[in-house]
Structure 1
């Protein structure tokens, strides 16, 4: 956390509220000065009160938390994809798309050019596409790697809940090693396959930017990821 005096001095706060975690970024102009993360379910009034004098912009996919933010930070600006005019959005229903996906697409376009694909490894993993015309044209959604791992344990009688980390070998010599191999390399293959299919459909070579909690891990093994930017969403909020 940060002191109220420091927050007031910097005055620009970006908040990215996800299903599992919430990321905070304090900016001085376009420069990220401090970043921290907390569990979304444990977010409290005390975490927010020190920012009441800051300029605040929020991306959220958790409506229940929005109420808390609006109560404490009454002047906070929430990203509304249906009214987002900084990026041309070419999908049928703008109200369906998550604010984080729009912000990611906008940030990637501004910072890395276009066409571009953003892969965000959150609770769900999203693939978002900005076309050669600079338009957001949609993407794909799949369960996140942690969710996939949890489901494997919860839906079976004997498989344990494990930490996600690289196995020593692809051929696992134990149940845990086999699970780690299947989850990591299976997910890597999913990511590589989706990137290849998206690029094939677009008909051009596209830069791929990865972000989200597992971006660094997956990027070590997955072909096709050009850039890892762990602060892409926060940077996008600051640009807005």
Structure 2
């Protein structure tokens, strides 16, 4: 933890004059992705500022940015909290995300070169070797971002990322079991194979189905005791 904090503080120092609030936003987003912050958790601005070795001003601005991106919400007289959304809201976001992912897949299949495919296959192999959820989940997020980035459409990347951030907690829940992760990564492998073949129609269909499978896992979990209001993770 000490080495990580030291490295983080060095990054803070490098960006102090220009984009410090954005760096803090990225750190908070990583904490949400990694499960260190969960839906309903209070964001302790003082503790975070102390950890980073900065004043509370940049931390407060970062929290406002998170609020604008719908990852956090201010509660009067209580402070800033990681946002919670209902299962019904999550299901709607899954549908939007599935369509965006499918579109990205069709575009990626038309643009991807050999080096791109090799990079994707490397991530799929690393995912196969992940022993637990804490290692699998951030790498899974990275693979999805790589796939969408291959679309070559910056606005699509932005829209997809915004929707995904709101669903992080749900996605993490849907991949908790070994079997779910194996199935999900098998789908990744099939997607990359079709990208290598340049089969845009099939890639689009597979990538849309991949997200809808996550929606099904989330809805199945909600029927077996998952709270009706959970935070933003898929």
Question: TM-score, length-normalised on structure 1?
Answer: 0.30
Q: Which has the higher strand share?
A: 1
